[in-house]
Amino acid sequence: MKMSGGVEWALHCCVVLTAASEPVPAARLAQLHDVSPSYLAKQMQALSRAGLVQSVQGKTGGYVLTRGAEEITLLDVVQAVDGTSPAFVCTEIRQRGPLATPPESCTKPCGIARAMAAAEGAWRASLKATTIADLAGSVERDNGPGALAGVGSWLSEPGA
């Protein structure tokens, strides 16, 4: 089980966008993080499709958060990039083989599927409890106050 590496990039980008007051191009975000511009663009497209960020076209275009950072949860970002389908998929093998359970007895998911779904539910609940604003706060706490402001001003500077 492995999560798409783009999730990390997308999360960092969302935190960074918190400090921006104008649209930020994907290329500039890639430059800031020193990652592939083309691939990061793909992740931003996913965020745009999910409605978390809004794309602005044209010369001074870029991406902007559509809502306040405290209204975007980690789960939103993860699901936007990595998809909403659960990691565990029950293939109903109980209905196969010589001792198959008849379909009429399968009104609810089997115990295994229920347990796995519960675990994923706990995972999602944990992700939903944290917002981008919380992450921004942790950055300020870790790197000192004003760290995000510095990033915000760097984003406004003309690119090197």
Contacts to a second copy by CB under 8 A:
1-5, 7-9, 11-12, 15, 31-35, 74, 82-83, 85, 87-91, 93-94, 96-101, 105, 108, 110-112, 114-116, 118-127, 130, 134-135, 138-139, 142-143, 150-151, 154, 160
Choose the one of DNA, a second copy, none that binds residue 91, judging by a C-beta under 5 to 8 angstroms depending on kind: a second copy
Q: For residue 101, give the DSSP letter.
A: P
Beta pairing partners, 63:
24, 55
Stretch that binds DNA, among 11-19, 26-34, 118-126, 132-140 (CB under 7 A): 26-34
Degrees to nearest 5, angle at CA 155 with 154 and 158: 85
Give per-residue burial for 59-91: e unless 16+ CB within 10 Å, then b: eeebbebeeebeebbbbbbbbbbeeeeeeeeee
Q: From a second copy, DNA, none, which one binds at residue 104 (CB under 5 to 8 Å depending on kind)?
A: none
107 binds DNA (CB under 7 A): no
Q: Six-digit token pair at 149?
A: 């402001």
Q: What share of the chain is helix, strand, coil (3-state, %, to 5)?
A: 60, 5, 35
Cβ proximity to a second copy: between 56 and 109 the closer is 109
Q: Binding residues for DNA, per CB under 7 A? A: 1-2, 4-6, 25-28, 36, 38-39, 41-42, 44-45, 48-49, 55-63, 82-83
